[in-house]
Amino acid sequence: MSVECIQPWLAHRPRRGATVVDTVVLHATCNDDLTEKITELKDRGLSYHYMIDRFGVPHKCVPYSAVAFHAGNSYGPHEAARGTSKDQDSHHNFVEMTSVNEYSLGICVVNCNDPSDPCTSEQEDSCIWLLKELKVSLPSLKYLTAHYWVSPGRASDPANLDVVRIAAKTGLEIWKPA
């Protein structure tokens, strides 16, 4: 399998200091069109490291050495380890304004994120292949999580991707809030 590169890269910035990337957050586009989603991401200054189209082709959108803007206000394994508050305001934003973006990769499947639109087996297989490839380049990868776990109440994606099965097939540890 090969990875297609989107040029120019989507919005990103350098990682701070000696950040160790150890977490992958899975997402869904919440629409059914890759090109349309890329246009929306560009317009909003958002990004993922990779997007997997309906046919299972992975598209690299941001170098993994950079921070992509995919999870926004979010809470993950580093915040939990530091004892950061999980308190959220009425809009489901963490009051301490935390974010997993600094130490994570964002991988997104093209999917409407509703029951009528299951992810394809090609997308799941591609996600597994990509995660195994990334583990070779980034042996620090440890955790696999979902947008709905790091942004509870604010995100529902990826509803149609079996995150637990993908973790089992890639040797990554599931992270979700206690």
pLDDT at residue 126, as a whole number: 97
What phi, psi does 139 have (nearest 5°)?
-65, -10
Model pLDDT, residue 132: 98
Contact 104, 24 (CB under 8 A): yes
Which residues, in sequence order, are bridge partners of residue 66?
14
> Across the chain, what does the average pLDDT equal?
96
pLDDT value of position 17:
87
Return the pLDDT at 36. Answer: 96
pLDDT at 70 over 90: yes
Take residue 150 and report the two structure tokens written for it: 């790091």
- Strand-strand pairing, 58-60 and 50-52: antiparallel
Q: Which two tokens stand for residue 66?
A: 């950079």
The pair of three-digit structure tokens given for residue 141, joined into one six-digit string: 């990868």
pLDDT tops 90 at residue 178: no
Residues 84-114 pLDDT 10s: 999 999 999 999 999 999 999 999 999 999 9
66: pLDDT strictly greater than 90: yes
Domain 4-174, what fold? Lysozyme-like (3.40.80)
Tokens of 124: 């799941």
Judged by DSSP in three states, 132 sits in: helix
- Unique residue bearing structure tokens 């597994």: 128
Cβ pair 73, 87 in contact under 8 A: no
Judged on CB neighbours under 10 Å (0-12, 13-18, 19+), 166 is buried
> pLDDT by residue (tens digit) across 14-63?
999 889 999 999 999 999 999 999 999 999 999 999 999 999 999 999 99
Question: For residue range 131-166, what is the model confidence (pLDDT) as tens digits?
Answer: 999 999 999 999 999 999 999 999 999 999 999 999
The pLDDT value recorded for residue 1 is 87
Give the span between the Cα atoms of 116 and 61, in whole angstroms.
27
